Amino acid sequence: MSFERKNIQAMAGYVSGEQPETADVIKLNTNENPYPPGPAVAKALASMHVDNIRRYPPPTAMALRQSLARLHSVQTDNIIITNGGDELLRLLLATFLDTDECVGVAAPSYSLYDVLVAAHGCSMQNFALMPDWSLPTDLAAQLNAAGIKLCFVVNPHAPSGKLTAAAELKKLALEFNGLLVIDEAYVDFVDPPLKHNCVPFVLELENVIILRSFSKGYSLAGLRMAYGLGAKSLIDPMQYKTKDSYNTDLIAQTLARAAIEDQAYASDTWKKVREQREWLRGELSHLRLHTPESQSNFLLAEVPPEFSAVKIYEALKTRGILIRYFNLPRLDNRLRITVGTPEENQKLLTALTAIMAAGGK
């Protein structure tokens, strides 16, 4: 006998990338920042007093929201702090989706969306990206025709790294009748000359929510902190009705704030990642592992037809190098590689060169 709801019984859980407990693995599989959190975060952690955790934390993380409001030139009412971006995704469904309504996803994309939708008990429809991973130009019309209530678009796209211009997303939001969630988990790694910024939309449009994460850009994946930006009318019901009263803890709020206040350190890590991204992309192409241009901290390499992506993934794993393989349509002949430090990237290339020299499927 099972007490699970029928939809929970029927669904499969999310399979996260491997998280080895040993330090001697080169970990290029879950898109963490290869550089540690900055000195301001270390200092804030060292100066925390154990007495402070006797009391509950600030329920809506006001001090952190104030720092973020200054950073983004929005009001604190436009911000909700969540226990990782994953909690924000769950809150969006809990707050805005009835179980007879349908979610749309520009696919392929972050597979957690499917899992959360299945757990919530509503339905989901995939809207295929173009061969170059761009959004179909008629996406809004497709979404409206299918009666989609909420649509997830990752930008820069995961797993390709392709960036959709802000103007294109604004047009989509204006034409779409539902709620557009722009998942910007990787936006910190976009090249600054592109001056890409979707945040102003939340002050103009009442159907846009932006997801931002501390996990990648701020090197704080272990802390589980993220935030949503949106119109007050979208943020309030999540802030005051559907989120847990104390969804983020005091230590996480304090360290996330220290990270936000030290933009210079974080920006320097983004710059180093971008430089390595371009270098690695060139080196991979010499091995005939071609990757689309990426504005993120990972590259999606297409494996030449005489090789098997899963075999390369496994061969790297036996050499202590983890990358990501997805056994999914359009992705099963590709490998997603997180950009590491120069030393890690060099070791990856040395291993790849040897594995591919040995050849074969």
Ligand X SMILES: Cc1ncc(COP(=O)(O)O)c(C=O)c1O
Nearer to ligand X, 158 or 260 (CB): 158
**Which one among 92, 158, 181, 208 touches ligand X, defined by CB under 6 A?**
158
Strands 79-82 and 102-107: unpaired
What residue type is assigned to position 228 of the chain?
G
**Spatial distance between the Cα atoms of 161 and 274, rounded to a whole number of angstroms:** 12
Q: Check binding of 80 to ligand X (CB under 6 A).
A: no
Q: How far is the CB of 221 from ligand X (least distance, A)?
A: 6
User: Among the candidate windows 78-86, 162-170, 280-288, 335-343, which touches ligand X by CB under 6 A?
Assistant: 78-86
| Segment contacting ligand X by CB under 6 A, of 39-47, 60-68, 83-91, 261-269 | 83-91
User: Please, what is the minimum distance in Å from the beta carbon of residue 86 to ligand X?
Assistant: 4
Regarding 84 and contact with ligand X (CB under 6 A), the answer is yes
Q: How far is the CB of 226 from ligand X (least distance, A)?
A: 4
Question: Does 86 sit near ligand X (CB under 6 A)?
Answer: yes
**Is residue 221 close enough to count as binding ligand X by CB under 6 A?**
yes
The span from the CA of 284 to the CA of 299, in Å, is 10
Rounded Cα–Cα distance for residues 236 and 231 (Å): 9
Instruction: Considering the complex, state which of residue 274 and residue 324 has its C-beta at the smaller distance from ligand X.
Output: 324
Beta-carbon contacts of 6 under 8 Å, excluding residues fewer than 6 positions away, are none
List, as own/partner pairs, every contact residues 171-174 make where C-beta atoms lie below 8 angstroms and the sequence separation is at least 24, other chains included. Answer: 171/140, 172/135, 172/139, 172/140, 173/201, 173/205, 173/207, 173/208, 174/205
HSE of 344, CA atoms in CB hemisphere, 13 A: 22
Instruction: Kindly tell me which of 119 and 315 has the beta carbon lying closer to ligand X.
Output: 119
Task: State the nearest-atom distance from the C-beta of 111 to ligand X, in Å.
Answer: 9
Q: Which helix (H) or strand (E) holds 232?
A: helix 232-237
37 touching ligand X, by CB under 6 A: no
Alpha-carbon span 122 to 102, nearest angstrom: 6
In the complex with ligand X, which residue's Cβ is closer, 65 or 355? 65
**Alpha carbon 130 to chain centroid distance?**
20
| Strands 150-154 vs 179-183: parallel, antiparallel or unpaired | parallel
Q: Mark residues 176-195: x for contact with ligand X by CB under 6 A, - for none.
A: -------x-x----------
Residue 213 binds ligand X, judged by CB under 6 A: yes
- Could you say whether residue 114 binds ligand X (CB under 6 A)? no
Minimum distance, C-beta of residue 33 to ligand X, in the bound complex (Å): 11
Counting residues that bind ligand X (by CB under 6 A) gives 13
Q: Applying CB under 6 A, does 226 fall inside the site for ligand X? A: yes
Q: Is the dihedral of CA 281, 285, 289, 292 positive or negative?
A: positive
Which residue shows structure tokens 């430089």?
275
Q: How far is the CB of 218 from ligand X (least distance, A)?
A: 10
Smallest separation (angstroms) from ligand X to the CB of 77: 22
Residue pair 171/201 in contact (Cβ under 8 Å)? The answer is no
Nearer to ligand X, 253 or 356 (CB): 253
Which value, to the nearest 10 degrees, does the dihedral of the CA atoms of residues 275, 279, 285, 289 take?
A: -70
The answer to whether 117 contacts ligand X (rule: CB under 6 A) is no
CB closest to ligand X, residue no: 84
Q: Give the dihedral sign, CA 8/87/300/351.
A: negative
Residue 154 interacts with ligand X (CB under 6 A)?
A: yes
Interface with ligand X includes 110 (CB under 6 A)?
A: yes
Residues that bind ligand X (CB under 6 A): 31, 84-86, 110, 154, 158, 183, 185, 213, 215, 221, 226
